[in-house]
Amino acid sequence: MADNIDIDILSAFRDKNSRNYAFNLLVKKYQQPIYYHIRRIVIDHDDTDDLVQNTFIKIFEHLDSFREDAQLYTWIYRIATNEALAFLRSKRNKFFLPFIDVERELSNSLKDNQFFNGDEIQLKLQKAILTLPEKQRLVFNMRYYEEMKYEEMSEILGTSVGALKASYHIAAKKIEEIVTQD
């Protein structure tokens, strides 16, 4: 079921006279959730800000061609996810780092990050999440933090609901093992 506000935003965006107003409404509605979604993937605040900006630029450039065969917010989340993952791939390639080294770098930067205001348990959870393979980490974050339904994740990630459930279950078990270790 499409969100009525999203339908109104799309309708207003397609009218040249209200395009900027509609886009401002869209940014206002989605900026914070997209920020936290991307932040959980790339960890760094400054990188996240840049990626949020890139995400909304892409949304603005392609919103006219949005076919409405998916919900607007899943389409937006797909763009944001792709931007964040492309950034991590670029970072790996730029520094010739394997996946594990990039995640280790992100994990090490958590404690020193002035924008991380969690306690020791939250830090341990975040570090545990960063040990997961990329797909499991995405699924865990989307389900645990954003309480996203598997069907919505399926639209965003292009993966079957069954595979997503399995990924979440495996990720949760791995995190539980890490967090409960002394």
- In a shared domain, residues 76 and 130: no
pLDDT of residue 92: 74
- In a shared domain, residues 3 and 70: yes
**Within a domain: 39:** yes
pLDDT of residue 134: 87
- In a shared domain, residues 83 and 144: no
Instruction: Specify the number of domains making up the chain.
Output: 2
**Within a domain: 103:** no
**Within a domain: 146:** yes
**Within a domain: 38:** yes
Identify whether the C-beta of residue 103 lies closer than 8 Å to the C-beta of residue 130: yes
- In a shared domain, residues 88 and 135: no
- In a shared domain, residues 152 and 93: no
- In a shared domain, residues 33 and 1: yes
For 77-134, the pLDDT digits (tens) are: 999 999 999 998 887 776 655 544 545 555 555 555 555 455 567 777 888 888 898 8
Residues 143, 147, 149, CA angle at the centre, nearest 5°? Answer: 75
Burial class (CB in 10 A: 0-12, 13-18, 19+), 170: middle
Which residues span the domain enclosing 72?
A: 1-97
Q: What is the pTM assigned to this prediction?
A: 0.82
Residue positions counted in the chain: 182
- In a shared domain, residues 85 and 127: no
- Please tell me whether residue 18 adopts helix, strand or coil conformation: coil
Identify whether the C-beta of residue 136 lies closer than 8 Å to the C-beta of residue 171: yes
**Within a domain: 173:** yes
Where helices occur in the chain by DSSP H, the ranges are: 4-14, 19-42, 45-62, 72-94, 99-112, 120-130, 134-144, 150-157, 161-180
**Within a domain: 105:** no
pLDDT of residue 179: 84
Q: How far is CA 89 from CA 15, 37, 56, in A?
A: 37, 17, 20
- Nearest-10 crossing angle of helices 4-14, 19-42: 120
- In a shared domain, residues 126 and 85: no
For 21-39, the pLDDT digits (tens) are: 999 999 999 999 999 999 9
- In a shared domain, residues 161 and 87: no
Q: Which of 66, 54, 89, 58 is nearest to 13 (CA)?
A: 66
Higher-confidence position of 74 and 126? 74
The C-alpha atoms of residue 95 and residue 120 are separated, in whole angstroms, by 30
**Within a domain: 45:** yes
